[in-house]
Structure 1
Amino acid sequence: MSAPPFSRSTRRVRAFAPDPDAPGRACDNPDCDLAGDYRAPKSRDNLREYYWFCLEHVRAYNARWDYYKGMSPGEIESNLRSDTGWQRPTWPLGRNGSIGEALEAELAAFAGLGRARAKPEPERTPSEIREALAILGLEWPTSREAARNRYKELAKRHHPDANGGDKGAEERLKTINIAYAALRSHLASMQAEASA
């Protein structure tokens, strides 16, 4: 005996079908005696309390409904961002210290490697930027953002205008500019090599 031919149900619920949880009462529109089979939220602050309307009145209600009415653009943006994470707190991976390490350990265990890899040893400072790092007061490894922030701080502190036109401050600023340019160039070449 052969198996019956595969058949798939093509029956779909129509978008305007009555709500199966309808309470079986009249439409909440005061001038209507039809059954209130369609729900509509009462306000954006309480989306779980409903009006119950007939099809005609729920369509009219939906045409007027504007969830974002009265919100500033910042509030709308915040609301949209919150919705992308289902109103739960989110943060980028790798922030707050051990999140990235914990994820790496879980992935290593999942991959059957037995245990997570040990942390790599800190990189040795490249000889061509040791002097620049010393001038800027930074340690290796450093990021472009950290270098830029430190440069801005030192440039503001040693600018001749901030020091009454002092020639010594002008010379220190020149040295800082040269050190920052060397460090920035080295970090840019490292990034180019990494992306190649």
Structure 2
Amino acid sequence: MRQTRFHGRVEGAAACCSVPGCSEPGEFRAPVTPSSFDGPGSFRWLCLDHVRQFNSAYNFFAGMTPDEIEAAQSPTAGWERQTRAFASNGGDPMPSWGDFSDPLDAISARFRPTAKRQAVERFSGAERHALGVLGLKDDTDLHSVRRRYSDLVRRYHPDRNGGDRRHEKKLGQVIEAWQTLKIARAFA
């Protein structure tokens, strides 16, 4: 039983096979010149027998040295090529994800016009209050917070004050401030 469908067949093609002396209909396109950046190249029309002959004669590796053939057959062929870096001057950089509690706010902030963007606060209200309890400013880092917390715990702890419990409330505030700041998104 013969197949009626072939890959690449253009049924109803009006051209005859371009091989001299062949009167079969040319239903398959075969390249005369390969495709390039200038366009699709040029083609000729061949019948089934002649396109089979054309395809069997095709050799991708024709004209290559053994080293070039081995390189082309490598599983990583093509990955060693350098690619150009994406330009960063196409727009403003993406805001830091840590500046937002909701990821959708971060995405929408990227596409707001620059003039309408609001200044994103590094710390939330509770975190700013905790910084105030520790006596620190907004430009601090986690290492400074930890050092200040350690100093204040030593200063207000009753064991360091001869059992005096007058500073117990202040010690509780310092501990609570540390608990708030150690998980602050600004330090993530």
Same fold (TM over 0.5): no
Higher relative helix content: 1
**Shorter-chain TM-score category?**
0.3 to 0.5
Larger Rg: 2
Q: TM-score, normalised by structure 1?
A: 0.34
